[in-house]
Amino acid sequence: MMGMRLVVTGARGFIGRELVAWLAARGHGGCATGRTVPESLPPGWHGRLRHVVLSNAPPPEPCDAVVHLEVMHHLLRLTSADVAEMQRVNVGGTREWLAWATAHELRRFLFVSSVKAVTNPSGTAAESAEAEQKDPYGRFKAEAEQAVREWVAADPDRSAIILRFAPVYGPGNQANLASFARQVIQGRPCLVGAGQARKSLLSRLNAVAAIDHVLQKMQPGCEVFNVADPVALSFAQLAGCIAEACAAPAPRSVPWFAAAVLARLGDAIEAVAGRGFVFDSRRLRTLTEDAVYPADKLMQAGFVPVEATRDGIAEMARFVKAQEKLAK
């Protein structure tokens, strides 16, 4: 298959940088956009400011599809201004790129969403799960998904794929799993009870490979896929993998009742201070409730993960350990 010409939004981000490199290595090229110009791009790619591309100027070159990665992630404690900005970026930004695609008669759009766009009351959620209504980040992701569906419905020749990513990990990521790895490496308590809650995760390499895979299979209409590593490990298994990779002490745990007391204290501090606390009921639920999003549908569509979870977790953990040494 000949290489595609793509517009990748959010190309300066944790996933975007890896995606552009991955696509370039497989003969694809195009335009990488960001709020600042992406730099150090591989051959076949050039960087442009998002507002310049969106200014209704003609596309810089023929384009086969838009890959929309732009996102504002969840913050520990959201202010009303944060919520408004999150809606502007995650919903408004998606609508901007859909309008741009319409103006330039592009008919293929790949949207990277999140498993947070749907509810998961039972601990396991397929693609058909109900849309999130309460959590702002999840709600805005669900609204952006709906905008994509409406765009597809307006023209029978349009194609869209919505990829709901599980939390993505890899070297350089500073999200919750990196913080968890630091706790393990430093020998601090990292588990609640036996740590048996399972959590779907997604290696960055598997994330970009999934994007590449579905780009080549787009058909008219809209498809939704969960994207996660095949096996959801428990927190105890994750901690063990991190400890083994970094020669760290055996993972330590906090009794459930003690964690519950600390979570209530954190909730009270947040209510009084109006800012986030290191541990609250939300964090307790994360550590004690399953959050599994099977990617069976994607596997049935022919996708084969390129990285084993344990290998990816070990690589991330070693990166975190190296950063800890540099910081000392």
For the segment 149-164, what is each residue's pLDDT rounded down to a tens digit? 999 999 999 999 999 9
**Residue 80 in this model has a pLDDT that exceeds 90:** no
Task: Give CA–CA dist 165/138, Å, rounded.
Answer: 12
Tokens linked to 90: 């995650």
Using left for φ > 0, alpha for ψ between -120 and 50, and beta otherwise, residue 23 falls in alpha
pLDDT of 315: 96
pLDDT > 90: what percent of the chain? 83
Residue pLDDT, tens place only, 229-251: 999 999 999 999 999 999 999 99
> What is the pLDDT averaged over residues 104-123?
96
**Residue 195 in this model has a pLDDT that exceeds 60:** yes
**Residue 277 in this model has a pLDDT that exceeds 80:** no
5-171+201-229+292-307 carries CATH number 3.40.50.720: yes
Q: What's the chain's average pLDDT?
A: 93
Q: Report the SS3 class of residue 279.
A: coil
Task: Give CA–CA dist 163/146, Å, rounded.
Answer: 13
Burial bucket for residue 1 (CB in 10 Å: 0-12, 13-18, 19+) = exposed
Domain residue limits, the chain? 5-171+201-229+292-307
pLDDT of 100: 95
pLDDT of 168: 96
pLDDT > 70: what percent of the chain? 96
pLDDT of 58: 66
Q: How confident is the model at residue 78 (pLDDT cuts 50, 70, 90)?
A: confident
Neighbours of 243 (CB within 10 A): 19
Distance between start and end Cα atoms, the chain: 49
Query: Half-sphere exposure of 218 toward its Cβ, with a 13 Å CA cutoff?
Result: 24
Helix ranges restricted to H, 113-203: 136-153, 176-185
Nearest to 183 by CA among 236, 241, 252: 252
pLDDT of 325: 75
Residue pLDDT, tens place only, 43-64: 999 999 999 999 966 666 779 9
How many whole angstroms from its chain centre is CA 74? 11
Q: Model pTM?
A: 0.94
Q: Identify any residues that bridge with 108 across adjacent strands, giving them in sequence order.
A: 159
Q: How confident is the model at residue 79 (pLDDT cuts 50, 70, 90)?
A: confident
pLDDT of 60: 61
Q: Identify any residues that bridge with 111 across adjacent strands, giving them in sequence order.
A: 68, 162
pLDDT of 170: 95
pLDDT of 165: 98
**Residue 1 in this model has a pLDDT that exceeds 60:** no
Alpha-carbon distance values, 63 to 30, 83, 233 (Å) = 7, 33, 39
**Residue 76 in this model has a pLDDT that exceeds 70:** no
